[in-house]
Structure 1
């Protein structure tokens, strides 16, 4: 199966830099996915190797890696700090494409986190204070009450909670998958080299 029409004008065979190629595919997805083309599965694990996975929103992709934001005291935040290896997967059904990323985790600088938090909707900022993410909750009413209390506490600008942070996955591999007829898919994986370039390898489907 040939690749679906793209806006970026680059094929898997032509791709040299996986970050540039990912951004091309993301631009395609923005024009075909109905909701949240930046939604991705984030897999983490405890130091003992117990895995967990959830959907988060990818916010930035650049030379540093794949960045997202969250409550650092949530389960994923605790696991990312305890075991600094993670994996990501994005699936764009409308494009018949998937991207898998494996890498190491670091926290984003506070100034980057502050800048992003200020761009969030006010109610999302309030929600970051109101939710004790991943902890037991007695009732929905308790969450709504907490939200109302935070609204009153911060009638003007909402500061970033000290526990709210950002993480970046620095890739040790980036794999691109394009669906093919009769399950003869295209798979290409990029791995970084010591001289800050990339090697590219085709894989069997």
Structure 2
């Protein structure tokens, strides 16, 4: 199949929330025909290179994840999906795909099990607790309990910098978490979270963390 035929395949948009390719600037999304999952202009298929994968509405999470051959997802937005359950997040964790930003706002069926799965997610066959999550937004999440907060303590989520939770949680638990993890920014009022404003001290902390993880036996 020639390049011209691939280009003319449909659809030419990735869907709500899609972005332009970071390499060539192509705004027309991915070629999904025949499972290619590559940029329509430069034909790159590595998510780290194209960088425009952002999902805002997935009716069936498993149908999206399991055909996927990606190694990284920079932003994954599963907010406002009333039918997504802990089982769906468990499927996501089993893929071992590196996720940097995960938003799950207003998902009423999710609970402790989802946080536990993300906290203990294996990114390869030998390394545990090496989650790459830097942002986790759980505002108006189904259930935030004391058990949930235990999974936010060290050594889980070692790279987590931004955490969004509902404002109705126990304030003492939030304060205790802030004291134990001073580099973690906790938002309780539905604020927009972002990872592009880290200061120099954060960069030093992340470099030190990377060196410790690489030398871990």
TM-score above 0.5:
no
> Which structure: greater strand fraction?
1
Q: Which has the larger radius of gyration?
A: 1
TM-score, scaled relative to structure 2 = 0.26
Choose between structure 1 and 2 for higher RCO, CA contacts under 8 A separated by at least 6 residues: 1
